[in-house]
Structure 1
Amino acid sequence: MATSPAPFSEIGKQVKDLLTKDYNFDQKFTFSVPSSSGMGLTATGVKRDHIFIGDISTQYKSGNTTVDVKFDSYSNVSTKVTVNDILASTKAALSFNIPDHKSGKLDVHYLRNHATIDSSIGLNPTPLLEVAATLGNKDLSFGGEFWFDTTSSSFTKYSAAIGLNKADFSAALILMDKGKTLKASYIHTLNTLNGTAVAAEMTHRFSSYENSFTIGSSHVIDPYTSLKTRFSDNGKVAMLCQREWRPKSLITFSAEYDSKATDAAPKVGLALALKP
């Protein structure tokens, strides 16, 4: 709904995407085959050091139901069945892994004009219950989440956040790690024509009085090429260049240099995504 607040997990997401999305320091290949009949196929391979891992994912859509199945190189099978509008403004998803018989999980997403609720519960005798909710609208939202472990009858995680979204900027304040960490993030679009934006994220840990920060920027060089940069207080500097060399097919080059580890070589990654 246009007036509904974003889910709790998306508070601060714009900053996170600018600072981390598409950065890859391995060799990655993705091949996607969409289908008008409702069946799609995606193959992914990653070479990390001297190890190659991969998976094949299929997605089938029919009416309000979507079925996702993924097979990986370790012979694991992940399945997720999503049903939209199972009830008014409600979406439900059932997921499980094979051969892990304790991996079953039920997710329910509820959306109303001024509220969004996400809940998840494990389908086993001692499940982990996860609940997240936000109130407000698309511009201003307040939210919280908690994880409750029924085995120990204790809260393993709880957080609270506030998010502000406008046409040219977005800000978020998140109290996390059971109130032990405060994270503030901000992103500002400087030029909507060329997509130039800057973002910053700062984290304060109350227990150790430690502060950390990361700043980044993004810029659209031309309709097919974008550039991103990132700098952290730990001395790591990274850049990313992405080129759409054909419609929906991307090649991405990433590099990171650690100024405090002068003996280590810079990390370099290349990702190729093909979509006919």
Structure 2
Amino acid sequence: MVKGPGLYTDIGKRARDLLFKDYHSDKKFSITTYSPDGIVITSSGTKKGDLFFADVNAQLKHRNVTTDIKVDADSNLFTTITFDEPAPGLKSIFSFRVPDQRSGKVELQYLHDYAGISTSVGLTANPIVNFSSVVGTNILAIGTDVSYDTKSGDLTKLNAGLSFTKADFIASLTVNDKGDAVNASYYHVVNPLTNTAVGAELTHRFSTDENTFTIGTQHALDPLTTVKARVNNYGRASALIQHEWRPKSLVTISSEVDTRALEKSAKVGLSLALKP
């Protein structure tokens, strides 16, 4: 495994996962089965209010090639083919969607001890080209993320960030939306034996002079049960409990309440993921 700065998407990821991952107010379920020839089939559904969304995903791995094919309820076909390490540190990804003929995209990722590079280009006559890079080490890293529309000649995305990582904490700072938003995050491991950690994220948007601050924590009640909680400066408090009732099979219950409008009902979400 290459120990380096990772990719640009890794900047601030630990804090984002603690504060936002697995929180939801919908009803979700997924069932994963394994066929004798090695195909992994996952059927999932999500109920949002009165709407229901469903899809089926099939995954096949052969040596260093992974093929994912997903079909949703609207008969859209999503295909992703990943070639893992055709050369040391390199990963190539080809994806497209049917019937959207303009959705084809090729992405290359390269991980090195002192750099992480990802570039993608759409398979159209005038594609959008995305390039992100991170340089540094697994302690200090700095990077940028840029998208360029070859048709209009405009930069559609221009972000930059840096990350500082020690054994028990990670601090990161990013500038997003062409300088309109600044995001600072912090992740700290309090007790690794109980997976206890705290995290915080502050976002300031210059165009609206708006600040969003979120703080949260997580703790493992036992090796199979984790609880998380968070609250932001708008008074929205959330909590969840996740239990692994059998290997890789998870049930998650989450809720959110607006402390500034307690007369409103709390939002409750349920997620069930079953794997044999």
TM-score normalised per structure 1: 0.96
- In the aligned structure 1, how far is the partner of 2:136 from the partner of 2:36? 37
State the match for 1:221 in structure 2.
221
Identify unmatched segments of 5+ residues in structure 1. Answer: none
- In the aligned structure 2, how far is the partner of 1:36 from the partner of 1:187? 42
Q: CA deviation at 1:155?
A: 0.3
State the match for 1:256 in structure 2.
256
Q: CA deviation at 1:46?
A: 0.8
Q: 1:221 to 1:88 in 2, by over 3 A?
A: closer
Comparing 205-214 with 61-70, which one deviates more in the overlay?
Answer: 205-214
- In the aligned structure 2, how far is the partner of 1:35 from the partner of 1:174? 43
Matches within 5 A, 1:154-165: 154-165=154-165
* Secondary structure in 1 matching 2:125: coil
Contact (CA 8 Å) 2:190, 2:196: kept in 1 or not? Answer: yes
Q: CA deviation at 1:272?
A: 0.7
> Deviation digits for residues 10-38 of structure 1, max 9, x if unmatched?
10000000011111211111111246743
* Secondary structure in 2 matching 1:193: helix
- In the aligned structure 1, how far is the partner of 2:154 from the partner of 2:190? 45
State the match for 1:39 in structure 2.
39
- In the aligned structure 2, how far is the partner of 1:263 from the partner of 1:150? 51
Contact (CA 8 Å) 2:253, 2:269: kept in 1 or not? Answer: yes
- In the aligned structure 2, how far is the partner of 1:100 from the partner of 1:261? 43
State the match for 2:116 in structure 1.
116
- In the aligned structure 1, how far is the partner of 2:235 from the partner of 2:214? 10
- In the aligned structure 1, how far is the partner of 2:6 from the partner of 2:64? 22
State the match for 1:179 in structure 2.
179
> Deviation digits for residues 160-211 of structure 1, max 9, x if unmatched?
1001112211110001110111100001111111111110000112233322
Q: Which amino acid aligns with 2:236?
A: K
- In the aligned structure 1, how far is the partner of 2:13 from the partner of 2:51? 31
State the match for 2:49 in structure 1.
49
- The number of residue pairs the alignment matches comes to 276
Q: CA deviation at 1:47?
A: 1.1
> Deviation digits for residues 185-240 of structure 1, max 9, x if unmatched?
00111111111111000011223332220000000001111100010111100000
Contact (CA 8 Å) 1:2, 1:138: kept in 2 or not? Answer: no
Identify unmatched segments of 5+ residues in structure 2. Answer: none
State the match for 1:102 in structure 2.
102
TM-score normalised per structure 2: 0.96
State the match for 2:81 in structure 1.
81
State the match for 1:190 in structure 2.
190
Q: Which amino acid aligns with 2:52?
A: F
Percentage identity across paired residues of the two chains: 43
Q: CA deviation at 1:90?
A: 1.6
RMSD after superposition:
1.3
